[in-house]
Chain A
Amino acid sequence: MLIKNFSKSLLLFSIFAFVLSSAGISQFISNANAQDQQQDQKLIPINIKLPIPMFIGTPQNFRVPNLEKPLGKPRPPFLAPAETKNVALGKPVSSTDDEPIIGEIELITDDDREAEDGCFVELGPFLQHVTIDLKSRHDIYAIVMWHYHKQARVYIDVIVQVSDDPNFIKDVTTLFNNDDDNSAGLGVGKDLHYVETSEGKLIDAKGVQARYVRLYSNGNTNNDLNHYIEVEVYGVPIK
């Protein structure tokens, strides 16, 4: 009786184990297929049928000898919708250094890009950051920043982030990071170091939506101090 019960139990257990295993194996297979499909989805190129050129006849002739090409305004530095403007202009700025060595933190959003004395703020040494509050969420297309550029300098660990969190703890998007050794602790940056010029550094913000913009730096090739002349944030308010 015992043996009979044991055999029955063993059979039941085997059936149960078989069912479980089958379920597990089939789940494993379907997961693997899903992963493959996902990977396949990443690998499948976008299939765009590009139109061939349409043939045309002889174009209209404009006979204008010695025509000077129009000079007009220089081309803008980037393409953007007509309503795009510097939404950081005049906005409040905060910093890790409450008492800058030179200048005031408000100089960062005063629309003055010159490198003369009185136009820049000098913050303390090592890793510092400044945060601009745009006062509301914006579609941000580009950020242009000027560190001190009267001499050729390279600023170290330049990181630019945006967030809706004023403390930059959650929902943080990094737009630029050239901290290649992660000394700032914000991740290894892949962007390149650059020499400061009067043109500023243009950063593609990818149309990210955010209210706060934070910029880090960790000294420069001349000294350990940090400087800002101007930061411009180009975007449009989200309605």
Chain B
Amino acid sequence: MHTDEAVHAVKFGMLLENNFYRYDSSEYHGPTLYYFTLIPAWLESAKKITDISETTLRIVPVFFGILLIVLLFVLVDGLSWQIVIAAGLLTAVSPAMVFYSRYFVQEMLLVFFTFAAIVSGYRYIKSKHIGWAITTGVFLGLLHATKETCIIAFGSMSIALFLTFLIQDKFTGPTQKSFRKINFWHIVALIAAAFAVSALFYSSFFTNPAGIVDSYLAYGNYLNKAAHNDWHIHPWYYYLKMLIFSKYLSGPVWSESLIVLLAAVGILAAVFKKGITGVDFQLLRFLSFYTIIMIIIYSAIPYKTPWSMLGFLHGLILLAAVGAVVIINVKSSRFIRIFLAVFLVIGGIHLIMQSYLSNYKYYADSSNPYVYAHTSEDVFSIVKRVEDIAKVHPDGKNMYIEVVCPDSDYWPLPWYLRSFPNTGWWSEANMEVPAAPVIIASPGVEPDIIKKLYDLPPPGEKNLYVPLFDSYTELRPTIELRGYVTKELWDKYLQNKDLSSKDLN
């Protein structure tokens, strides 16, 4: 699990066990991820964090990723069957979409609620039914309750709507005519629904009214973060470069340039109303403006993390589907049509291969551009060693463990060691508490730990500690973790290991 996933997992654990959630306007985003995860947890009859697994958590973004494809069918009349199927296929094979749809973070929910708001809004414009207005409001409320970057989606949708009207010289399109007949009270209902849903979640279902106010004050915190966080500052072309071409040393070529290329074709078709029939060009123009504005805003913000691009990537995928249909239907010679078809197939196969590689081979490898500050696979050997030591400790999994890492940089260990309730988490060596029989720490605090182990206890009561891990062990690339265990416990572990191997023989 990524650090972010583990933080969300432990916060979800507090909700599951104690029915406690309080929105933190400084970090960790909105509450929908946690409350929706209650559903799979309840289905598994889970009551504690130790009852759930990575699957319980990650099934939530997977579910919303699948729904994102299903939702396309609600737009068939506006996009056409060909575009809907092409968009579904491209969403299903886009490496970034597949990779992050199994990350326990807010991103996939954000993309779904954004698209659902767009779809509901379009359905309302077509039908004028108050039900769709309320549905639009519900999804806008859920969007607001998911992540603070919803403000970018709100702004992009609003500007895109304005521009869609602006480029239409005559108010003759079906969409403009529809807009003239909107009922004022339907808009009131939409806004009320949005506020109600957002307030429901941010108030933790009416147990924390202050959360509602905090959800609006949060934008100040996040604007500050966007400008001043040094760790995640990247140039304006960061996202586009990642999508178009990435290759690190001997790793594979990563590229979703097929989607970018086809999206460009789709945008041209939308703006000039050429190359395709049976679609609502206003919808396509709206999607074009919306996507371009999102790309500009996200590229302009210095603070960047790879998963943040999913919003505009989804827009690019929808437009790429338009572009793909334009290409398939191009009126040209048979040779050119076959060539284009083969080009699309090969491009699609390349996307499928990348999806496979990013999820089954390079899922924690830095040569995968979507792997960003991801946990090293050493975390599994860390946990295995601690579990093996616990087997020979008289207290078992209740044994006392000390974890000491400056700036609390021990994540995702709190998730992986969740079945060890007597684990203490420190940013520096605490001289006031006795030393644990098992200590996991950053190398930088080793001198303080030595001081604690050797200066504090009286002579004859200083336990000897030996290395817990067999070799250099990392939490993330270049972030070493060291482990120490009392020799007495280590001898028991070795003896137990010998007995086990003899039993196997």
Residue of B whose beta carbon sits closest to that of A175: B460
CB of B408 within 8 A of CB of A56, answer yes
* Contact size range, A: 35 or more
Shortest A179–chain B CB gap in Å is 18
Considering only residues 60-114 of chain A, those with a C-beta below 8 Å from chain B are 60-67, 69-72, 75-82
Tell me, in angstroms, the Cα distance from A160 to B68 when the chains sit together.
70
Shortest A171–chain B CB gap in Å is 11
Residue of A whose beta carbon sits closest to that of B251: A65
Residue of A whose beta carbon sits closest to that of B362: A65
CB of A60 within 8 A of CB of B460, answer no
Q: Which B residues are CB-close (under 8 A) to A56?
A: 3, 7, 407-409, 411
Give how many B residues have a beta carbon under 8 Å from the other chain's beta carbons: 67
Interface string of B232-255 (1 = CB under 8 A from A): 100000000000000011110000
Q: Which A residues are CB-close (under 8 A) to B478?
A: 62, 64, 67
CB of A66 within 8 A of CB of B367, answer yes
Interface string of A175-199 (1 = CB under 8 A from B): 0000000000000000010000000
Q: B464 near A: Cβ within 8 Å?
A: yes
Tell me, in angstroms, the Cα distance from A77 to B411 when the chains sit together.
27
Tell me, in angstroms, the Cα distance from A142 to B465 when the chains sit together.
10
CB of A62 within 8 A of CB of B465, answer no
Residue of A whose beta carbon sits closest to that of B470: A75
Stretch of A25-33, A115-123, A200-208, A213-221 with 4 or more beta carbons under 8 angstroms from chain B: A200-208
CB of A78 within 8 A of CB of B487, answer yes
On whether A207 and B454 interact (CB within 8 A), knowing A53-B411, A58-B373, A65-B251, the answer reads: yes
Tell me, in angstroms, the Cα distance from A53 to B454 when the chains sit together.
26
Q: A3 near B: Cβ within 8 Å?
A: no
Shortest B484–chain A CB gap in Å is 5
CB of A206 within 8 A of CB of B460, answer yes
Considering only residues 36-64 of chain A, those with a C-beta below 8 Å from chain B are 46, 48, 50-64
On whether A80 and B450 interact (CB within 8 A), knowing A46-B434, A58-B3, A59-B373, the answer reads: yes
Considering only residues 234-283 of chain B, those with a C-beta below 8 Å from chain A are 248-251
Considering only residues 413-427 of chain B, those with a C-beta below 8 Å from chain A are 413-414, 422-427
On whether A141 and B454 interact (CB within 8 A), knowing A48-B424, A54-B408, A204-B487, the answer reads: yes
Q: A48-B400, A206-B463 are in contact. List 4 more A-B contacts (CB 8 A).
A: A55-B7, A57-B4, A58-B3, A81-B454
Residues of A within 8 A of B (CB): 46, 48, 50-67, 69-72, 75-82, 139, 141-142, 173, 192, 202, 204-209
